[in-house]
Amino acid sequence: MFCLVNSVSKGIVRTQSCYNLYNKKMDTLIVPGFSLKNKDWAEEVQRNLMPINSRIHYWSHWETGQAEDSWVGKETKEIISHENLIINIIAKSIGTLVAMKILKLKLKLINRIILCGIPLNDFHPGDKEFYEALKLLDEKNILCIQNENDNHGTFFDVEKFVHAINPNIKIISKPRSDHEYPYFEDFAVFLKN
């Protein structure tokens, strides 16, 4: 395995790509949650996905210590501007909103998408509408994983929300009461099939 930094902007590492020399399959972009602790989650996902090629999107506010008001839109545009090949996405928490914006703006970019911990309880006005983009992708290419008692949105509430958009989207409930998503085997199985 070797890793490359894809872009550096003002000294901030934006994405990191890790490749297995023997696996030339489609890349997976890991779009983590907001807080810095999600950096560890993203890096753990990347390690556990091997031999699947993957990249992590590192939020600029992890380096600056402060997110701009319009950071979600700016990060979405940055991701789209650096992606020109079809990718899979694994997104967690607020990263699911960014993934929905990518899906809406550049549908042809996405092959498969995994949404973990949709933060339904944290949505701002208008955020729910972006998840309507789930109608654009074949449901067999979408997997949602939600912890049963996630404090950012329970499985029950997220299932109701997602199935109102498309009742055929697969949603897996996990028996946890937190916002942690260490389901690497589920990720790998879905991406490989």
Range of the domain at 184: 2-192
Is residue 80 very low, low, confident or very high in pLDDT (cuts 50, 70, 90)?
confident
Q: Percentage of the chain with pLDDT > 70?
A: 87
3-state secondary structure the chain: CEEEEEEEECCEEEEEEEECCCCCCCCEEEECCCCCHHHHHHHHHHHHHCCCCEEEECCCHHHHCCCCCCHHHHHHHHHHHHCCCCEEEEEECHHHHHHHHHHHHCHHHEEEEEEECCCHHHCCCCHHHHHHHHHHCCHHHEEEEEECCCCCCCHHHHHHHHHHHCCCCEEEEECCCCCCCCCHHHHHHHHHC
Q: What is the pLDDT of residue 6?
A: 42
Which comes out higher in pLDDT, residue 74 or 122? Answer: 122
Q: What is the CATH number of the domain that holds 36?
A: 3.40.50.1820
pLDDT of 157-189, one tens digit each?
Answer: 999 999 999 999 999 999 999 999 999 999 999
Q: What is the pLDDT of residue 16?
A: 39
Most confidently modeled of 6-15, 18-27, 71-80?
71-80
Residue 154 has pLDDT above 90, yes or no: yes
Domain count, the chain: 1
pLDDT of 138-150, one tens digit each?
Answer: 999 999 999 999 9
Give this prediction's pTM. 0.85
Residue 66 has pLDDT above 90, yes or no: no
Q: What is the pLDDT of residue 17?
A: 40
Is residue 121 very low, low, confident or very high in pLDDT (cuts 50, 70, 90)?
very high
Residue 25 has pLDDT above 80, yes or no: no
